[in-house]
Amino acid sequence: MSFTVRPARTSDVPLIQELCEPLVQKRILLGKERVVFYESVQEFRVAVDDSLPPEAPEALIGCGALHVIWDELGEVRTLAVADNWLHRGVGHAILDDIEEKARALGLTKLFCLTFETEFFGRHGFKPIGEELVAPEVYAELVRSQDEGIAEFLDLARVKPNTLGNTRMLKLL
């Protein structure tokens, strides 16, 4: 079985949300309203099953997003793979594609909040502590309304480490 990783399209948004929903129910991913997926569709990469027509709902088998946080720092968000495609390289291909996009944008660090520490560890991510950015960058980031950045900064307005996952960083 083969698959292709490509940029997400607006028509993929309902399928991305559907793919993520079981992981939200298991408290592995944070739930998002559909409007949030549409607002960030340009950040998403999707994996599609090459053996199915592209318009078939089951053709979308994985997704992941790259969110730029600051000049050199990005976050891997919403990495999900359909259960029947787990352990077939889909997550690795999406993450590789996200890393390539990050480098093309000039990012030198990638951050993630994850339960999948072994998976991200195989890609060179390492667990990190609380001090993630210089104080002057923190002062700028704290102005963001993005809840992901608030969680990244561990701000009081979000529950500390909402899901109990691990902060990891990779130098590109």
pLDDT tens per residue across span 110-124: 989 888 999 999 999
Mean pLDDT along residues 81-107: 97
- Determine how β-strand 73-81 pairs with β-strand 109-114: parallel
State how far the Cα of 158 lies from the Cα of 120, in Å rounded to an integer.
24
Sign, CA dihedral 144-145-146-150, equals positive
Residue 144 has a pLDDT of 65
Most confident segment among 45-59, 87-101, 108-122: 87-101
> Phi/psi at 33 (nearest 5 deg)?
-70, 155
Residue 135 has a pLDDT of 64
Q: What percent of the chain has pLDDT over 90?
A: 62
Query: By the 8 A CB rule, do 76 and 110 touch?
Result: yes
Mean pLDDT along residues 55-59: 89
The pLDDT tens digits for 111-169 are 898 889 999 999 999 998 766 666 676 667 666 666 666 566 655 444 445 556 788 89
The fold for domain 3-171 equals Aminopeptidase (3.40.630)
Between 5 and 29, the more confident residue is 5
State how far the Cα of 27 lies from the Cα of 123, in Å rounded to an integer.
23
Q: Domain spans of the chain?
A: 3-171
Residue 65 has a pLDDT of 98
| CB hemisphere CA count around 127 (13 angstroms) | 6
Residue 141 has a pLDDT of 63
Q: Which residues, in sequence order, are CB contacts of 129 under 8 Å at separation 6+?
A: 167
